[in-house]
Structure 1
């Protein structure tokens, strides 16, 4: 089973995560929004091996340390539509190994075209696609409200209800929640149809 260490900081109450296998000691940094020194100190102090860093989308507050990781030859993964240089470009529904577990890549555009979520056992890392009791903005450059609707309603809401949502920012009344809880409390997951979602998300 994969274990998780959560960090909070960055530019806007960002969350960053270290996911690791305590048997193999393999580790991954997910959502690069925190000073690399803090993350690497945790990895060193726990005798972990950093296998790769996963960028969940290309907004500046989620690229903290990108140049550092690149200059130090630490493998960087991102979606295939990510425009900067990375070690590996990921495809929708691709599975990558971490220790004895598999991480599933879900392409979830909407907030921006290169957004991905990571499904790891019962954990879903959603970055700025889905927050606790909210979802990502769709009025920024690279955003698409129809894509956001599809990402939420055709993909995330089809996942098992017991998965735990780990978002990219601490914007909710609690940091994490199950998908079942979010179906009950997240206004943006309760739209009756696509048109209703468009109106509520864009405040029309």
Structure 2
């Protein structure tokens, strides 16, 4: 599958992007990082004639999961999160039977289609991206012109360097990057352009990356 259905919704006071992702020719969709305004998410689902069959959590920070209780009250669906994030997050563990912990590279079912969960720690221990055909939904691991902070609880700049240089560097140039926040001049970009212009891909070794990523914030 090359061209999935992806609908990007900008919601909340922190310029979050919430996504609906599924096969282009199918009504079933995942809600990626349900937060802030579940009523707006529901309207988008209805407008596009879709049906929610699951939620995918890129990581456990409040601005990416605060809509989960409302979403689950409306839809009895599984919630997919990386196993390391479940171990890290009490909020995710409270989901209990709804939770579907994933290992690195595990498949995520969406109707008859499957997408891939890429474990990309660094922002949090269990941060992961959703690779759906020619689209990569990256949460707070990778932005169009930056990457996620590594100075918050659970952050690790060495892990972030490995996630960028060993995992996301291998994603094809034509893959479209859909980030977790509206932090750039454009809301989506080909990965080839991201790697050419994003400064966090320019470091030849982990030491130089860590020094830059962990420099004092202004």
Q: Which TM-score band (shorter chain)? A: over 0.9
Quick one: distance in 1 between partners of 2:35 and 2:147? 18
Equivalent residue for 1:107? 119
More displaced 10-residue stretch of structure 1: 160-169 or 96-105: 96-105
Q: Report if aligned partners of 2:53, 2:111 keep a CA contact under 8 Å in 1.
A: no
More displaced 10-residue stretch of structure 1: 38-47 or 122-131: 38-47
Q: Report if aligned partners of 2:79, 2:99 keep a CA contact under 8 Å in 1.
A: yes
Where 2:138 maps in the other structure, the secondary structure is strand
1:27 alignment partner, one of 26, 29, 35: 29
- Hey, which of these two has a bigger chunk of helix by percent? 2
Deviation at 1:97, TM superposition (A): 2.3
TM-score w.r.t. length of structure 1: 0.93
Quick one: distance in 2 between partners of 1:186 and 1:2? 25
Deviation at 1:178, TM superposition (A): 1.2
Quick one: distance in 2 between partners of 1:100 and 1:55? 20
Q: Report if aligned partners of 1:11, 1:61 keep a CA contact under 8 Å in 2.
A: no
Equivalent residue for 1:46? 48
Deviation at 1:155, TM superposition (A): 0.5
TM-score w.r.t. length of structure 2: 0.88
CA RMSD of aligned residues (A): 1.6
Instruction: Give a deviation string over 1:154-183, Cα, whole Å, max 9, x none.
Output: 110012111111100011122111111011
Give aligned pairs, total.
204
Quick one: distance in 1 between partners of 2:45 and 2:150? 35
Q: Kindly indicate whether residue 71 of structure 2 is the aligned counterpart of residue 59 of structure 1.
A: no
